[in-house]
Structure 1
Amino acid sequence: MTDLKGKAALVTGASRGMGRAIAQRLAADGALVAVHYSRDADAARQTVATIEQAGGEAFQVQAEFGTDGDVRTLLTGLSAGLGGRPLDILVNNAACGNQDTVRAGSIDRLTPGQFDEVFAINVKAPLFLIQATLPLMPDGGRIVNISSLATRIALPSQIAYAMTKGAVEVMSRTLANALGARGITVNTVSPGSTDTEVTDTLHNPQVRTILADLTALGRIGRPADIADAVAFLASDDARWITGNVLDATGGAYLGPMWAR
């Protein structure tokens, strides 16, 4: 465990999946965690309740990314929950990657509306959320953005989604350079296939076997695997690391299995 006592963190998309695991881990390390959600208030309450039952502190904030005033709405709730405290850690986890968008995402089927939606949620919202929260963040703060394995392998059915995550990685490097004078680190965590309730394809045993076989460590990732990587980058142990992409895929798609 890392020591985040006295720190405050915002985790977007924290009502379930990887976001929930990240929020729980940061809270277990001592941080007050703002649990952001888009629509599922009950799920966000469950995240908060789980944190509190474990002895941590959390509160929920709502904003639907990709809509007018999304960042302003989130900032209002965040400021109220912080009660004058600074925001030390920002984790941009929320993303649009639902199965309908993925299936329709090939070059012959992708629509301008789908393209605009995924970029609004995955790129525009994190960028302007960082802009809005920087006045709340003290020198030495931490920003961690969540990318994807899709940036280093070619998945034709996810072209727009992969493009957004490429943009997130460029954003992270650029902001790491821009914010370095304040001691604020900006890094990216890149998960691969991760076993969450939001990834329908992983419910198929055959798909799970194939993906595990394509991974050097021989299994599908767990939300806690990603949360632990984020917690490291949010801690003082990572104070000299910025502008990096941390591959948290378990070694997915590293090369042919017969070479082992």
Structure 2
Amino acid sequence: MIELKQVTKQYGQSTVLHNIDLTIDEPGIYCLLGRNGAGKTTLLKSIAGCQNITSGQIKVAGKAVSTAALDTGVSYIENFAKHFNLPVWKLLRIASEVNGAYDDSFAAEMMEQFELDGKKKFNQLSLGMKTMVSTIVCLASSRPVILLDEPVLGFDAIMRVEFYEMLTESFRRHPRIIIVSTHIIEEIAKTIHKLIILDKGRIRFFDTLQSVEEKAFSVSGLKKDVDAATANLHVIGQDAVGGLVTSYIFDQPPKQEASLEIAPLSLQDFFVQMVGHKGGIRA
């Protein structure tokens, strides 16, 4: 279990995380979404114990997390992760030797699936292949918490599909908490169980994708009709073009009227409305 209480992180005078309360208490694949600079990497590094927070408390499996902790139970790989410039097979062997619960068979299968040359040194690999090696090392660790920061950077479309399959297979073999930070929203939707949206250092949303499918809608029509239909609903954004208005809601959809057009929001559109956009009206 991951538990954050009133977590704040400051860099000088800049506050990156603002009094975050978050509890993740069951295994699953969680997607962490946020705009550039929202604090995603800072949040993941803090949970992993790679840096200390300014105030508050973070616990993983009941143990306080900090840079002083010998083993946080967390395996964390950030984008552009660096390793010793050794042959890939030697990096995997070292990872296995320092982690008693390392899944050698999973690592070997993934190496074969992605056609990785174990004899190549790490720095000889493309960006995508470097990221894949780092991800395999992380997932094969079998630790109770896995944190992946932008793991699909440098991947082509086929590699991204294979990555999501690898993520699903890893979770099937070792159910645990896996948090994936990504910008490619729609692709990962089929893989994840819950969604976390971070906006300007604050948690804006934490729930299942099912709740988005059931409650996220756009309501379009004349302003007076839309305003009347959404008066008692949670409006997360609004666009206006001429006399027509579209309100974006996270609530039960209003009753269908001939004057209204009601449509479900895609995950990407829901995210855009939750974090705001130019021309939008924040509720």
The TM-score normalised by the length of structure 1 is 0.36
**Who wins on radius of gyration, i.e. which is larger?**
2
Query: Which one has the bigger helix percentage?
Result: 1
- The two structures have a TM-score, normalised by structure 2, of 0.34
